[in-house]
Structure 1
Amino acid sequence: MTDTTFQLESGVIDPDADTPAVWSRATWFAVLSMAATSFALVSAEFMPAGLLTPMARDLGVSEGVAGQVVTATASVGAVTAILSNVLIGRLNRKTVLVGLSALAVGSNILAANATDFWILLLGRAGLGVALSAFWALSVAVVARLVGANATGRGMAIVTLGVSLATIAAPSMGALISNWLGWRIAMAMTAGLAVFAMLMQWLSLPTLPATTSNSLADVFRLTRRRGIQIGMLAILLLMTGHFAGSVYVRPFLEQVTLLTTGPIALALLGFGVAAVIGNIAGGRMADANVRIALAVTAALMAFAAFALLLWGVHIGVAFCFAAVWGFAFGMAPVVLPTNLSRAAPDALEAAGSLMVTSFQVAITIGAVVGGFVLDTYGATGPLTLTAILSASTVILSLLQPRG
């Protein structure tokens, strides 16, 4: 794992070289194909949030049991993230990415046609494999497409698909399921994956493997101080975010005293701000990733503290929900870029550690946030968000320069 140059059809890109200010049309098309894939995969991941009631009724299970389709995707994904870059070996990365999109197509079709809950879980597990393996490869592929010095900008475009899917998928799923049924809604995510797969096939250059990772290579990276701090930053900030955001509705209902309509508007503002933060995060990460990490964490901590102190006021609640959304939009760009800077010679292995850290943080945040909510009330989860985000600001100051 000593090869630090990236092979493309057009030649070799040195990760330390300056990146051209203007991307070619082919580069834009390739990066947009990655964004389309992230939109398709994350739409499929979040779609069940808008389908739980009709899906549970049709399959003869409770809504709580039906909700485990999300757990299946995340748990399989956590394991896949560690193993994916080991199992693909020396396969051409373009072939792997197209294959993962094909797996997503098949998994979504299987889920849409499930005759019982276990077949649905099997389809969702396949989606978990495609989702995590894609993200484990994403930073390395984007760096090869645009150059390491523009990785933040490239990842901002790719993760824009995440922000859009987070806003659109649950509501789109609910609307389509009411109109045509939950199976059609689920099948439409297969159509999105087909579109992404075609874009990848047409636009991505051949991407021969530059390394063949072993499990020992992946775990060996954890000895690096920059990797340790980068993984800890993901765990702290994302655990804090999901501990609070999953349970923000009870806060808005019980503290701000909002009804369903205004809550929906506040969450829409959160989503729109996340899209803007996504773009800003890419530019800041390329300029100075340490400052970008500190700003991301500080904004999230400030928003959570402000909601705790003044969240009884409707205007304050709307304002700082948007600030929180802006910080969350920055995070999926800044955190992976921050981690990758500690391993320019092992971006794929670092990607595995990055995805695993995210999946663990999501799980811990949701579980701990639920416990804190039940124990301390609606303000408890946001207190946890504020503390963990503020801790990430301190951690960012320990991040190695470079």
Structure 2
Amino acid sequence: MTSPSSRTSEAPASTGGARAPQLRLAPLIVLALMGFILVAMETMPAGLLPEIADGLKAAEGTVGLFVSAYALGTVIVTIPAISLTRRLRRKPLLLVSIAGLVAANTVTAFSSDIALSLVTRFIAGAFSGVIWGMLAPYAVRISPPSRLGAAIAIVAIGAPLGFAFGTPLGAWIGAVSDWRWSFAGLSALAALVAIAVVLVVPDAPGRPALAGLPMARVLRLRGVPVVLAVIFVWMLAHSTIYTYVAPYLRETGTAITPDLMLLAYGIASLLGVAVTGLLLDRYPSLLLHLSVLAFIVAAVVLLAGQGSPVALLAAAALWGVSFGGASPQLQNALTRAGGENSDVANSFLPVAFNLAIFGAGILGAGLLEVFDGLILPAAMMLLGAVALLLTFVGRRSAFRQRETGSGDGKA
């Protein structure tokens, strides 16, 4: 069994005084900004479909593949890339990956050919997946062992920020200027983050290479499969209604618009991340159970209170609070379950995440072919219940209270 201390040997230790070891906030914030960029870069085309279609003289359905191509790159490349690069030092690998991301996204910004654009979106997704697989383990390696949950929560705040503000910001820039500036702006922001990485983020060593196929070994580690199952099911429940929130709101007959609904969700999600940061190290299991339960309650309110604007906004806020902390909670569980192989374990996270996005698009479209938009909160409620059941199934292997040892490597 791998002890917690051996899993975080690169983390700074306490100097022996009475004071608790402090987090390095500056590098963690830089890593969080990178997470914001990754989510914004993936989801932004959804708010720019008419503008991109007009600019490239293509159908909106074809331009919709901008998101799919990005996700496909992440799914295909992430796991083998993390496995093959695990021996490399973290900081140079992160900088090379950001450079590749910036280059691919910049070509997309100036491309006039739809095929080239889809190829560069795939490449950007591949580099994004490598970075996603690094973020949580990197935060662990540069943080005190007693503050790992808080460190992961800080880094993970970038994801809900990206969901809440990335797509609306890109749509606004595209509306007031040109859609290409939305892509170019994200490239410029990523370049600035790369400079910040050089200046303030400490380096960390890689891990020893594993014989055979490390990804297959890690997938069999005790606790890893159930964490990935929760990630997929919970994300599927979230993305199905998040992607198709407009058809749902249209059926409610209220005056609430998608941007208002998602703004309420986004602001509340920041509170969810804050609560997670405060409680994750002390109550990881209880926090996860309550978060998924609150998510289900939000779905019930969306279904039962469909005619009330107040009820819908309250449900959106509860949805944001409950799901806003999902990323740090599940990254924390996956990092601990992976142990010394947490970098490879975390490489499965963006794969599960993006497979859920694919599944949400298919599931939502299929449901709307047969039912109206009011079926979506019902699907959210049902899938949320499955996720809650999985968190109880994994109580002993992955979601233990005050986890003191995991990643023992048992199949």
TM-score by length of 2: 0.89
Residue number among 197, 211, 232 corresponding to 2:229 in the alignment: 232
User: Identity percentage over the alignment?
Assistant: 26
Structure 2 equivalent of residue 283 of structure 1: 278
Structure 2 equivalent of residue 132 of structure 1: 129
Structure 2 equivalent of residue 184 of structure 1: 181
Instruction: Measure the CA separation in 1 of the matches of 2:215 and 2:191.
Output: 31
Instruction: Measure the CA separation in 2 of the matches of 1:36 and 1:231.
Output: 24
Residue number among 222, 238, 246 corresponding to 1:241 in the alignment: 238
Amino acid at match of 1:258: T
Instruction: Measure the CA separation in 2 of the matches of 1:296 and 1:195.
Output: 34
State the Cα distance separating 1:97 from its structure 2 match: 0.6
Structure 2 equivalent of residue 159 of structure 1: 156
Distance 1:181 1:224, change over 3 A: same
Gap regions ≥5 residues in structure 1 = none
Structure 1 equivalent of residue 22 of structure 2: 23
Structure 1 equivalent of residue 205 of structure 2: 208
Cα RMSD between the aligned structures?
Answer: 2.4
**Is 1:295 the counterpart of 2:290 in the alignment?**
yes
Structure 2 equivalent of residue 258 of structure 1: 254
**Is 1:397 the counterpart of 2:396 in the alignment?**
no
Amino acid at match of 2:291: T
Distance 1:19 1:144, change over 3 A: farther
State the Cα distance separating 1:380 from its structure 2 match: 1.8
Instruction: Measure the CA separation in 1 of the matches of 2:18 and 2:44.
Output: 37
Q: Would the aligned equivalents of 1:108 and 1:123 in 2 still touch at CA under 8 Å?
A: yes
Structure 2 equivalent of residue 97 of structure 1: 94
Structure 2 equivalent of residue 118 of structure 1: 115
Amino acid at match of 1:292: L
Structure 2 equivalent of residue 34 of structure 1: 31
Instruction: Measure the CA separation in 1 of the matches of 2:19 and 2:208.
Output: 26
State the Cα distance separating 1:100 from its structure 2 match: 1.1
Instruction: Measure the CA separation in 2 of the matches of 1:73 and 1:231.
Output: 20
Amino acid at match of 2:22: W
SS in 1 for 2:340: coil
Amino acid at match of 2:72: S
State the Cα distance separating 1:339 from its structure 2 match: 2.0
After TM superposition, list the pairs within 5 Å mapping 1:308-387 onto structure 2.
308-387=303-382
Q: Would the aligned equivalents of 1:19 and 1:149 in 2 still touch at CA under 8 Å?
A: no
Once the two structures are overlaid, the 10-residue window that deviates more, 363-372 or 165-174, is 165-174
Distance 1:19 1:239, change over 3 A: farther
Number of residue equivalences? 394
Structure 2 equivalent of residue 72 of structure 1: 69
State the Cα distance separating 1:13 from its structure 2 match: 5.1
State the Cα distance separating 1:21 from its structure 2 match: 4.1
Gap regions ≥5 residues in structure 2 = 404-411
State the Cα distance separating 1:18 from its structure 2 match: 12
Structure 1 equivalent of residue 165 of structure 2: 168
Distance 1:332 1:89, change over 3 A: closer
Distance 1:289 1:2, change over 3 A: closer
